[in-house]
Amino acid sequence: MIKNRRFKIIIILSFLLISFSLLFSEKTILKVFKLPDPKSTDAFSKADKAVIEAFKIKYPDIELRSFSGIDIEGMSMDSGPLMAIAGGVSPDIIYVNFRQSDTYIQNNFLYPLDEFLEKENQKEIDLRVEKPVLPVIKRKKEGNSSDQVWALPYETLVRVLLYRKDLFNRVGLDPAHPPENWDELLEYSRRMTIPEKSVYGLFIASGPQAAYDWITYLWSAGGDAVMQDPLTEQWLSCFNTESGVDAMELYLKLITTKWKDSTGKNQQGFVIREGDIGRLINEGRIGLRMTYMNQQTLGGQIDPNLYGVAPCPKGPTGVRGSELNCRMMGIFSGAGETNNGGIGERDPQKVKEAAWKYIWFYDSEEARQIRMKIMIDAGFGKMQNPIYLKRYGYEEYLKYSPPGWIETFEEALANGKPEPYGKNCQKIYEYMTYPIDDCISLEENGKLGETREEKRIKIKEILDAAVERTNEKMIGKNPQEVRYKRNRISIVVAIFIFAIFFIALYKVWKIFTPQNVYIPKQKMNLFPYFMLIPAVASIVLWKYVPMFMGTMMAFQDYAVAGNSEWIGIQNFSDVLFDPVWWAALGKTLYYMLLSLSLGFIPPIILAILLQEVSHGKILYRVIFYLPAVISGIIVIYLWKLLYDLSLL
């Protein structure tokens, strides 16, 4: 009895001691780029929340906080973290995209993970990192002699061909036989395209980054977007090979082929690129499209009774060009070194160690088991990867796995190529889209050529010009003699502009300087100058200091983190010889001309007419000015009435 009482006292004291130690111990605050939304109720969000809760239980000394930043419209990729990095309030753990990774590495945004990986089990590392991903996460930084690991993947994705089984059956195609090569892809797309019923064979991306889809066919043809010279380690674009011409030919056949539908109406192409794509997908009106498969949850919420998956069709050389991608996390190089938006002083080493614990745990075997249990409980057991079902003891669900899905994933993984991850590759799809748009436009207007050979020659010329432009604008590769010549011309232009500016300034000074005016000497009153000091200081601080700082940045290869290199007039030289800048300048001048001619001259003429009219001057003035005093709400309702069909 006494022993039991002593044991209970010891347990209670131990519990109180642990509670007090946790209560008064200082937690390590860790800011993560994104945490699950607590309001979300879908199975995937629940799985992520369960993993986060398990992490908090395992590491009670770490407090997780979600990052919220400012996004820039039109710059969705990492604009929030980049703005936060520039403002000195970056999250400790940042999301790393394949295409953005080199920029992050070279600009000192990422902290190397080698010291942490050395402590982990190699077998677990191999389970987590697929071999094709290794070149992406482990590479040299400029100036370093050895490779380092900069990020860790937490989800492996491959692009596969998703197809509607019901549309296959509708046009007499076998759902068990998806397109195996380009010829079959073209044939299947043609047969499933029924424009009069808003049914389309294939979805292909459009817009400023349409090459996001084209690169799959480029890889299948045996080509590539960028490559790194093994000797110089310099990145170069290389999509202008014969493989690139082959891929462009296929694209033109899919998009521009002219044919007649069942009603005799002229049609063009067997794809849809624009419109209400989301609605058409939901309604099952698109037969084929490329999509991602997740390593753990193969199909997500895709119904295997309606959809089938297949690897990317083989190109002319028998190669499949599936894209391999990963979501990745990295540790910000300055993690814990700033107050991070009011968090306060922190130990940088502790923060980095806490960040590593989070990164490693998030996709560990323990976390994968938690996710799988949540997904199975939510009714998605049949969509889980059979490898993980067997590994984690859910063999009873193996019989429900869609036939062929795991084989498709593994084949796509085996033949997959990492999304471009070289220098400034966040812009690669944009530069690869220019030749696509040019070729489509020329083909639609009948200017690409008459014979296939003529078309291939023209396509090659367009791709060559696009590669040259990409190497210059995206990668910054310019021959030394060209750079020297441009800099000299830019200096001459700059001298001319400054000369015009100072001459104009001198003329204005002379005009407003009084001549031969006698100013009697007066005792200087300093009080007004003291009164002006706050206003002048405010203007200097908020206008002139930023202006001078921006002027300094104009002469630098500016780096958000680390030292910025002085490059003189090179930035101005690049702008001066950039056709995009001249096009923008031309449109600006055109807009200015229209604004002045339509917004300035007509009102003056109208004012003169209203002044000189002989009869009814007051009436005309009232009619003219009346819209300015009518409420905007009334105008809205007036226009609504004009377009109200019920009044017709």
In this predicted model, what pLDDT tens digit does every residue of 446-490 receive, in sequence order? 999 999 999 999 999 999 999 999 998 888 887 778 888 888 888
Q: Outline where DSSP puts E strands in 90-238.
A: 93-96, 110-111, 138-139, 148-149, 152-164, 200-203, 226-228, 235-237
Integer Cα distance of 515 and 324 in angstroms: 76
How confident is the model over 259-280, as a mean pLDDT?
Answer: 89
Confidence at 430, pLDDT banded by 50, 70, 90:
very high
Average pLDDT of span 118-136: 90
CATH number of the domain to which 160 belongs: 3.40.190.10
Structure-model confidence comparison of residues 264 and 163, the more confident one: 163
Note whether residue 439 is domain-resident: yes
Helix, strand, coil shares, percent, the chain, to 5: 55, 15, 35
Q: Are the CB atoms for 567 and 557 separated by under 8 Å?
A: yes
pLDDT at residue 552 in the model? 86
Give the mean model confidence (pLDDT) for residues 602-608: 81
Residue 19 has pLDDT above 90, yes or no: no
Domain identity same for 57 and 191: no
| Structure confidence at residue 629 (pLDDT) | 76
Q: Please determine, for residue 576, whether its predicted confidence score (pLDDT) is greater than 90.
A: no
Distance CA 612, CA 458 (A): 63
For the cut 80, the answer to whether the pLDDT of residue 516 exceeds it is no
Whether 146 and 165 map to the same domain: the answer is no
> Is the confidence at residue 222, as pLDDT, over 90?
yes
What's the chain's average pLDDT? 86
Residue 2 has pLDDT above 50, yes or no: no
- The fraction of the chain above a pLDDT of 70, given in percent, is 91
Average pLDDT over every residue of 6-25: 53
* 374: number of Cβ within 10 Å: 19
Confidence of residue 233 (pLDDT cuts 50, 70, 90): confident
Asked, for residue 7, whether it belongs to a domain, the answer is no
Q: Are residues 37 and 104 in the same domain?
A: yes
Query: In 259-304, which residue ranges form alpha helices assigned H by DSSP?
Result: 277-282
Looking only at the bridges linking them, the beta strands covering 93-96 and 148-149 are unpaired
**pLDDT bracket for residue 414 (50, 70, 90):** confident
Tell whether 632 is covered by a domain: yes
| Lowest model confidence (mean pLDDT) among 236-240, 460-464, 523-527 | 523-527
The angle, 0 to 180 degrees and rounded to 10, between the axes of the packed helices 617-629 and 601-612 is 140
Of 19-28, 589-598, 604-613, 633-642, which gets the smallest average pLDDT?
19-28
pLDDT (0 to 100) of residue 22: 46
Token pair of 99 as six digits: 């295409």
The distance in angstroms from the start CA to the end CA of the chain is 95
Same domain, 342 and 221: no
| Tens digit of each residue's pLDDT (9 = 90 or more) over 182-203 | 999 999 999 999 988 889 999 9
Residue type at position 539: I
Helix (H, G, I), strand (E, B) or coil at 228: strand
Cβ 29 vs Cβ 346: under 8 Å: yes
pLDDT for the residue 344: 60
pLDDT at 69 over 80: no
Residue 51 lies in domain: 26-152+330-357
- Cα dihedral sign, 428-433-439-442: negative
Q: What is the pLDDT of residue 525?
A: 75
3-class secondary structure, 260: strand
Residue 320 sits in the same domain as residue 466: yes
Instruction: Report residue 327: phi and psi, to 5°.
Output: -85, 135
Q: How high is the pLDDT of residue 134?
A: 93
For the stretch 342-398, pLDDT in tens is: 566 788 899 999 999 999 999 999 999 999 999 998 888 888 888 888 888 888 888
pLDDT of 299 over the 80 cut: no
Residue in 376, 374, 407 with CA at minimum distance from that of residue 394 = 376
Query: Once rounded to an integer, what is the mean pLDDT over residues 216-233?
Result: 90
Two structure tokens written together for 347: 């130990």
Which range among 89-98, 165-174, 308-317, 591-600 shows the weakest confidence by mean pLDDT? 591-600
User: Within 13 Å and on the Cβ side, how many CA atoms surround 212?
Assistant: 19
Whether residues 348 and 277 share a domain: the answer is no
Q: What is the pLDDT of residue 3?
A: 46
pLDDT of 529 > 50? The answer is yes
Could you give phi then psi for residue 172, rounded to 5 degrees?
85, 25
Q: Which residue has the higher pLDDT, 30 or 22?
A: 30
Check whether residue 190 and residue 296 sit in a common domain.
Answer: yes
Which residues fall within 8 angstroms of residue 78, CB to CB, at 6 or more apart? Answer: 95, 97, 100, 426
Q: Are 427 and 398 in the same domain?
A: yes
Helix or strand run (H / E) with residue 556: strand 556-557
Answer with the residue of higher pLDDT: 557 or 60: 60
**Chosen domain end from 473, 492, 513:** 473
Q: Judge whether 585 lies within some domain.
A: no
Pairing mode, if any, of strands 286-294 and 200-203? Answer: parallel
Q: What is the pLDDT of residue 9?
A: 59
Any domain includes 617: yes
The total number of structural domains in the chain stands at 4
Domain assignment present for residue 434? The answer is yes
- Domain shared by 236 and 320, yes or no: yes
What is the C-alpha to C-alpha distance for residues 391 and 366, in angstroms, rounded to an integer?
12
Which tokens sit at 189? 């797309």
**Residues 6+ positions from 520 with CB-CB distance below 8 Å:** none
Which stretch of DSSP H or E encloses residue 63? strand 62-66
Task: Give exposure, 134-150, as e/b (b: 16+ Cβ within 10 Å).
Answer: eebbbbebeeeeeebbb
Phi, psi for residue 339 in degrees, rounded to 5: -75, -10
Q: Evaluate if residue 81 carries a pLDDT over 80.
A: no
593 falls within a domain = no
Query: What was the pLDDT predicted at 7?
Result: 47
Binning pLDDT at 50, 70 and 90, where does residue 25 land?
low
Same domain, 107 and 252: no
Partners of residue 417 on adjacent β-strands: 323
* Co-location of 58 and 78 in the same domain: yes
In a domain, 63, yes or no: yes
143 and 269 assigned to the same domain: no
